[in-house]
Structure 1
Amino acid sequence: MSEEAADSVSVFEQHGGFPVFEAADPGPGFGRFVTAMRRAQDLAVSANPDAHVWDAAADRVEELVKLLAPYEAPEGVGPANRVPSLPGAGSLLMPPWTVAKFDPDGVEVQVDFSRYYVGGNYAVHGGVLPLLFDSVFGMVIHAAGRPISRTAFLHVDYRKVTPIDTLLTARGWVREAEGRKAFVNAELRDADGNLLAEANGLMVRLLPGQP
């Protein structure tokens, strides 16, 4: 590792009281599980079966809870949000983004929102886009080699309706940095380049011991 790269790692690791999260390798079964759970989320908000089917589905979900409950672990121990190769890093909370670019000058992710994210009239719920942008902001900070930061504010402008079942591209970059502060921008576009939404925010580096 070069001296410059080592310095970047050293700076990044100065991250207040935030725990150090490392990438996880839980095996292919976890990837299958996350894929199936994402599909289950879609069906949970779209299926309309007979009443007895809901009873059967509830029985199976309760069995799944019983299976996994003994293995509940602290944050940063379970693989969720720690498998970069999986959509949304393996976290069901996150939209299923995949990273296309991760450089100091900016980050690019691709995302395809499914039925689970519908807010109305088959459009992505407006509250989901700040979640996406906040995730992008965090990646931007990491890619730029800045220490762990918290979001101080995040402003979103909605330009067009964001569709589901369509491959979209989100881009983010640091617009300006000043001491502990990093002002960041992001945008979401469709395959034709149409601007769907854009965001700007302030990320502030944590102080030593700060959660």
Structure 2
Amino acid sequence: MQVMTEHTERDGDYEHHGGFPVYAADPDNGGPHFGRLVEALRTVQDLAVSTAPPPEVIAQAAEQAEALAALLAPYTAPEGHYPAGRSVGLPGRGSLLMLPWTVEKFDRTGVRSTGVFRRYHMGGNGAAHGGVLPLLFDDLFGMITHAAGRPISRTGYLHVNYRKITPLETPLVVEGRVDRVDGRKTFVSARLTEPDGTLLADAEALMIVLLPGQP
């Protein structure tokens, strides 16, 4: 597997970033305790949407959450200078926004990632919310263009076909590739499946290379 690093970003045409900030992956993954913090916060997210504690417990939890926010607030940093989103060795690269999936393949032929949708991602009736699937695909498509050595791109369009209900707490696989390139346009596609290959959803997208100075 080709590791996502600063060197990868500087291969070939990838030097062209438009006006997008350039920052390297964090080889330390935020240090020895950052992954632990992210996982604890993910668990809190799961519990926040799936528990019904009494008012006194909610009050205590709110106080502790406010104390945690106050503890972290003095250390706000500019984009690209915090480990979230750059910790490539952690699920979801250490970002609470991204799905906590793990990249298993990352090269010019495509990207494959595995993981589960957690309680936090539930839409209804025990299934993953339909809105989190585009997030999963969009993040994957960004990695696919990166792995293919294409310059920094923005999503032009993203189309998702929902083929089957996507379960929670079930190991799943998402895999995609570049289909073709036309100038600034990179056409990509991907499939979300169960481990046995059962198709849950598929998607296609257009990624457009940024012009010089374009945000």
Q: TM-score, normalised by structure 2?
A: 0.94
1:101 aligns with 2:105: yes
- Deviation at residue 34 of structure 1 after TM alignment: 0.2
Correspondence for 2:79: 75
Aligned positions of 1:142-161 closer than 5 A: 142-161=146-165
Residues of 2 paired with 1:100 and 1:78: CA distance?
24
Show structure 1 runs of 4+ deviating over 6 A. 5-8
Deviations 1:27-55 (A, max 9, x none): 11111100100000000100111110000
In the alignment, is the contact (CA less than 8 A) between 2:100 and 2:115 conserved in 1? yes
- Deviation at residue 73 of structure 1 after TM alignment: 1.1
Unpaired runs of 5+ residues, structure 2, are 1-6
- Comparing 23-32 and 64-73, the one that deviates more: 23-32
1:168 aligns with 2:172: yes
Aligned positions of 1:1-211 closer than 5 A: 9-24=11-26, 25=28, 26-211=30-215
Deviations 1:102-135 (A, max 9, x none): 1101110002111000000110000000000000
Q: TM-score, normalised by structure 1?
A: 0.95
- Deviation at residue 177 of structure 1 after TM alignment: 0.5
2:20 maps to a residue whose letter is: F
3-state DSSP of counterpart to 2:178:
strand
Residues of 2 paired with 1:73 and 1:121: CA distance?
39
Residues of 2 paired with 1:7 and 1:53: CA distance?
47
Unpaired runs of 5+ residues, structure 1, are none
Residues of 1 paired with 2:70 and 2:17: CA distance?
36
2:31 maps to a residue whose letter is: G
Residues of 2 paired with 1:39 and 1:6: CA distance?
32
